[in-house]
Amino acid sequence: MPYRYSECGLDDVLIYGLDPERFVDGERGIGFPRIGRLHRVIAAALLARPGPLAGRELRFLRTEVGLTPADIASRLGVSEREVTRWEASAAAIPEETDVLVRRLVTDALDLPVVDIAPQARRADEAPILIDGSDPMNYRVLEPEAAR
């Protein structure tokens, strides 16, 4: 059974292979060793996904590169209020801004460059599936591999 990793702020990240019997700070629960690596894999999966970034995805990526809404607004040449509206999904992220965010994150996290032109996202977009069986080497799973 996969673990829905909603703690990262995204509703569609499923982690397979986690040992639910791990102990974290003396408490029984699920631990995430190398959480920075896990978040880097999630960021790469978001950037490789077709379609424009959603507000919650923008917020995840922004926080992963250590920027505040004011920081990213300054880099994008927009107001902090506009960034807040995008992250709350109260306004659509313009395509050119989406491309700039993808470039900024790709560079900041030193990720492989992928085709960053947003394409139409399908309504039935698959969730991000992560293999968590080896926390030293998190990796994205293809949907058929998780079955």
What secondary structure letter does DSSP report for 61?
H
Residue 7 counted as domain residue: yes
* Among 45, 49, 52, CA closest to 5: 45
pLDDT digits (tens, 9 = 90+) for 98-141: 999 999 999 999 998 876 555 655 555 789 999 998 888 999 99
Residue 147 lies in a domain: no
Which residues is 24 bridged to in the sheet? 27
CA 23 to chain centre: 25
CATH number at residue 76: 1.10.260.40
pLDDT band of 67, cuts 50, 70, 90? very high
Domain around 56: 3-142
pLDDT of residue 22 exceeding 70, the answer is no
- pLDDT-derived band at 65, boundaries 50, 70, 90: very high
Length of the chain: 147
DSSP state of 53: P
- Residue type at position 32: F
Nearest to 128 by CA among 29, 31, 33, 60: 60
Instruction: Give the total number of structural domains in the chain.
Output: 1
What's this model's pTM, rounded to 2 decimal places? 0.86
Residue 73 phi/psi, 5-degree rounding, is -60, -45
82/1: higher pLDDT: 82
Q: Mean pLDDT lowest for which of 30-34, 53-57, 135-139?
A: 30-34
Burial 5-35 (b: 16+ CB within 10 A, else e): beebebebbbbeebeeeeeeeeeeebebeee
129 falls within a domain: yes
Reference 47, options 103, 6, 86, 3; nearest CA is 103
